[in-house]
């Protein structure tokens, strides 16, 4: 399966990709089990904590059914580390040229962040069709993706940033949106409290969202 086809598989596994910030390995494992149990198998673990790489490795090794991804991937060094840890996909906030070149050399597919037609076109020249739209609400929201569908029909999006249960439906009703990303399904207070049943319930609610694509 080529990288864009694999990203398509990741993005259609569920309507929501949880975006998580976690530092404790045991919490990462329990939280991921809850997300998978709630119906959200693809999980973006951001590289924003000192132990994020260990969290990705633990989820990859120990959580049956999870599709662990690495988020906030900003460099070739990050890519090498998350590839070794067992990440199945990577997500970046933007499309820095060196990062994109490194992604072409990495075995793990990258879902790069985009917010403009020019960024999408530049990625299209490198073979990308599956991208993140970030920061979705601040960058124009569902109206922006609706506008881009006719001139750039080849792209499939995961809008992320400011997405919640309130507005996820407006994105998921668009034919060029395969899933949305968001942190609301694994809020920091529930992680700190170890409220895994609460996280499973939020995931289950999110997994029932329907999409057009």
Active site residues: 44, 132
Query: Considering only 49-57, 116-124, 155-163, 190-198, which stretch makes contact with ligand 3PG by CB under 6 A?
Result: 155-163
Torsion of CA 27, 185, 192, 10, to 10 degrees: 20
Residue 32: which of 13, 58, 7, 3 has the closest Cα?
58
Segment lying near ligand 3PG (by CB under 6 A), choices 3-11, 76-84, 118-126, 157-165: 157-165
For 21-177, list the strands marked E by DSSP: 42-46, 67-71, 89-91, 110-111, 113-114, 130-133, 156-159
Q: Decide if 60 contacts 48 (C-beta within 8 A).
A: no
CA atoms within 13 A on the CB side of 186: 29
Binding ligand 3PG (rule: CB under 6 A), the pick from 4, 173, 183, 207 is 183
Q: Which of 27, 32, 114, 160 binds ligand 3PG (CB under 6 A)?
A: 160
Quick check: helix, strand or coil at residue 10?
A: helix
34 to 93, contacts with ligand 3PG by CB under 6 A?
none
Interface characters, 13-32, with ligand 3PG (x: CB under 6 A): ------x-------------
Choose, by CB under 6 A, the member of 162, 187, 194, 198 that binds ligand 3PG.
162
Which of residues 27 and 160 has its CB atom nearest to ligand 3PG in the complex? 160
In the bound state with ligand 3PG, the residue whose beta carbon lies nearer, of 34 and 111, is 111
113 touches ligand 3PG by CB under 6 A: no
On whether the CB atoms of residues 107 and 132 are closer than 8 A, the answer is no
């Amino acid at each position: 399966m080529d990288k864009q086809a694999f990203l398509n598989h990741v993005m259609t596994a569920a309507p929501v990709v949880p975006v998580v910030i976690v530092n404790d390995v045991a919490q990462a494992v329990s939280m991921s089990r809850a997300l998978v149990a709630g119906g959200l198998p693809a999980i973006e673990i951001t590289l924003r904590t000192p132990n994020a790489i260990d969290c990705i490795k633990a989820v990859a090794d120990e959580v049956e059914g999870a599709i662990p991804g690495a988020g906030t991937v900003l460099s070739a060094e990050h890519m090498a580390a998350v590839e070794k840890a067992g990440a199945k996909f990577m997500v970046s906030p933007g499309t820095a040229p060196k990062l994109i070149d490194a992604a072409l050399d990495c075995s793990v597919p990258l879902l790069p962040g985009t917010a403009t037609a020019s960024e999408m076109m530049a990625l299209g020249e490198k073979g990308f069709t599956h991208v993140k739209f970030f920061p979705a609400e601040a960058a124009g929201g569902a109206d922006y993706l609706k506008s881009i569908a006719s001139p750039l029909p080849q792209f499939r999006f995961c809008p992320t940033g400011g997405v919640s249960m309130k507005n996820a439906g407006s994105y998921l009703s668009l034919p060029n949106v395969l899933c949305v990303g968001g942190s609301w399904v694994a809020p920091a207070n529930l992680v700190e409290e170890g409220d895994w049943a609460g996280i499973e319930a939020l995931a289950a609610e999110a997994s029932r969202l329907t999409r057009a694509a």
